[in-house]
Amino acid sequence: MQPEELAKTIDHTLLRCEATSADVEVLCREAAEYHFAAVCLFPHYVSMAASLLKGTDVKTCTVISFPFGADTPRIKALAADEAVRRGADEVDVVINVSALLSGEVGLVRDELAGIVHAARVRGVNTGHGQVIVKAIIETCYLDDRYKRLACHICEQAGVDFVKTSTGVGSYGATVKDVELLRDCLDAGIGVKASGGIRTAADAERMIGAGAVRLGTSSGTSIMEELLA
């Protein structure tokens, strides 16, 4: 894969609690320089990022119910609506892992469907077009049976991507998990690998396993490595 092709798989990520507006400016400048797919940051900075990235080919992505996914369905849907209203092109929402492990399959499915609906309606109303919704299933807490069930729920809810991890769990993306998700999902749903992707070799392994998006805070160093 050519460096410019790999760059378009990267969601350049800044999800540190101590991140400042100055850090966001750097993030957006780097993303525009390397033509990354998107920046991924906290909702507080969505308007700022959308403004900084206007006129570039980089999308603005934010997280919903990060990192635990334990907010109520109404709050998560409202958060998605607000994020798009403020300029988000994409939202990465953490599923309710606790509810999934408790057998509340219908709740998890309906919650995700509500988030997809809220984001899409607001996207149309604000002229954004179709907003991309990525569901973070946090694979480190799920056995293979639950990973497959999570993929089935995500398909039913109408999400665009299933994402492996928040990056704050006990471990992040693995080749095995990416392969499993890719095998489980309909061809129209993408896989985003996230957590622990720090080198060009890491990125290439995840893409080789079937990921079409990569969440990483090491985007610039990966590109520098490829272009050296």
Catalytic residues: 92, 163, 192
Cα(16)–Cα(23) distance, integer angstroms = 10
3-state secondary structure the chain: CCHHHHHCCEEEEECCCCCCHHHHHHHHHHHHHHCCCEEEECHHHHHHHHHHCCCCCCEEEEEECCCCCCCCHHHHHHHHHHHHHCCCCEEEEECCHHHHHCCCHHHHHHHHHHHHHHHHHHHHHCCCCCCEEEEECCHHHCCHHHHHHHHHHHHHHCCCEEECCCCCCCCCCCHHHHHHHHHHCCCCCEEEEECCCCCHHHHHHHHHHCCCEEEECCHHHHHHHHHC
Residue with tokens 């509810």: 99
